[in-house]
Structures are given as structure tokens and as C-alpha cells.
Homo-oligomer: A and B are copies of this chain.
Amino acid sequence: MTYCVALLLDQGIVMLSDTRTNAGVDNIATFSKLAVVERPGERVIAVLSAGNLAITQAAVTRAIEGASAPIGADAPRTLANAQTMFEAARVLGEAVREVYAHDGKALEAQDYAFDANFLIAGQIKSERMRLFQVYSAGNFIESTPDTPFFQIGEHKYGKPILDRVARFDIPLEDAVKLACISLDSTLRSNLTVGLPADIVIYRRDALKLASRKRILSDDPYFNSIREGWSHALRNAYRELPPPPWPMS
């Protein structure tokens, strides 16, 4: 399983993902689910993937490198040369459809679902920052200030805190905390989501990443969030009023 969350805020973008893949609970491995295309001063695009790893790797690779074009043809559109973020989302969606055309029938013959979801976000030149969720059919939706985050993979455990406090106008620092809290809740409740995690932080109009970091299990900051949050939750529930109903 996988947990990926992306927040698009007034101040910037935060994207966080675990790195655990599993084919059954007894076959666990570590793969980054984050891909970044960065040309400082020109574009930053980050992609998070959930689903069948063979499908998501193939689609992201196609989106970044381009499928081989016939000699003499124009260079294919890729995440490196898309003119807008909307076009970048379309490039990724087309790449997913190409993988489906190539592998879909063989997967279906063995009863494997064509399972692939993506979050793609970033900024190109003077265009505004944008965040999209791309589905396995290659179509996609865009985040708006009303709904400033998307999750893919094992999304439910980490969603309550996002539903409560994720808003378009929170500071970028708070979005990093929120992403870490929601990952922590998921890690605690689902063994197939696991550290290390990958996080990228982007501040609006910078056209370069502020941070790209791998969070290991001994990361002091992530552990301070885990412990602080756990402690705060325990305190919070202790301080809630006792029920007024008869207890005996």
C-alpha cells in the first residue's frame, strides 16, 4: 500500500509520500514514489504515485523521458518541456493511457487491476502553481482553494486531521506539520505504509525546490512531531468533559 498527500496553498506546495511497496505482507520493499523535474528558474514539477508499481513506474518514466518518437518527428511532449502545468497533467495522463494500451490486456488476462493514481503539482515560469490528481484512465481533476489537498493510496487514516485544519491560507510550515501528522496516523494504523518517507516543499514563485528530503525512521523532526502529536492527543482527550450520563 501507499500513502501520498499533496497540499496546494497560497504560500506553496507540500508533497509527502511513504516508500513502502508490498506484494503481499511478506514481500515488502522500499521504492521512492516521488519523481521531480526541476529546472531552477524555469519549472518545478513533482509527481507522487500510488498503485501497481510496474504501471506507475512505466507511466512516470514515459511522462519524463517521452516515448520514443519516430526519427524526424517533433520531440515528444514531456514533463520537461510541457508549456503549462495543465499540459504536464495531460502528458502524465497520456502516459498512463499508453501504459494501459501496452499492458492492460496482459494484466487483465491474469486478473490484475489496472491500478494507478498520481498527484502532480508544480509551477512553470510565470504561471500559477497547480495541483492535479490523475486517475488510472488518464483523466484528472485540479485542486482549488476550496479543497487544497489530495491524497492517494491508503487515505482514510490520515484524512480526519486534514479535513479539520487544511485550508488554502495556512502557512507553509503548518502544511508540512499537517502532512507529517497525517502520515503518522497512517503509519500507526496500516503496516503496509512505512518509512522512510519523501517530502518536497516548494514556495510560490521560487521556481526551485525549497526542500527535498528523505525522512528516515530516526529523523529528529519527524519523531518530535510523532511524539508531540501523540502527547497532545492524549492530553486533549483527557481534558474533554466526562459524560453526564449515568455510568453505573
0/1 string, A92-114, CB within 8 A of B gives 1: 00000000000000000000000
Contact in complex: A237, B163 (CB < 8 Å): no
Question: Which A residues between 166 and 193 are near B, CB-CB below 8 angstroms?
Answer: 172-174, 176-178, 180-181, 185, 188-189
Q: Is A160 an interface residue (CB 8 A)?
A: yes
Smallest distance from the beta carbon of A94 to chain B beta carbons, Å? 32
Task: State how many copies of this chain the complex holds.
Answer: 2
Which of A43-51, A74-82, A83-91, A224-232 is found at the contact surface with chain B?
Answer: A224-232
Q: Is A246 an interface residue (CB 8 A)?
A: yes
Q: Please report A residues at the B interface, Cβ cutoff 8 Å.
A: 156-157, 159-161, 163-165, 172-174, 176-178, 180-181, 185, 188-189, 199, 201, 203, 206, 210-211, 213, 221, 224-225, 228-230, 232-248
Ordered by A's residue number, 19 sampled pairs between the chains whose C-beta atoms are within 8 Å are A156-B157, A157-B160, A160-B188, A161-B237, A174-B238, A176-B245, A177-B237, A180-B243, A181-B240, A201-B247, A203-B247, A213-B245, A221-B243, A224-B240, A225-B241, A228-B241, A229-B240, A232-B237, A236-B236
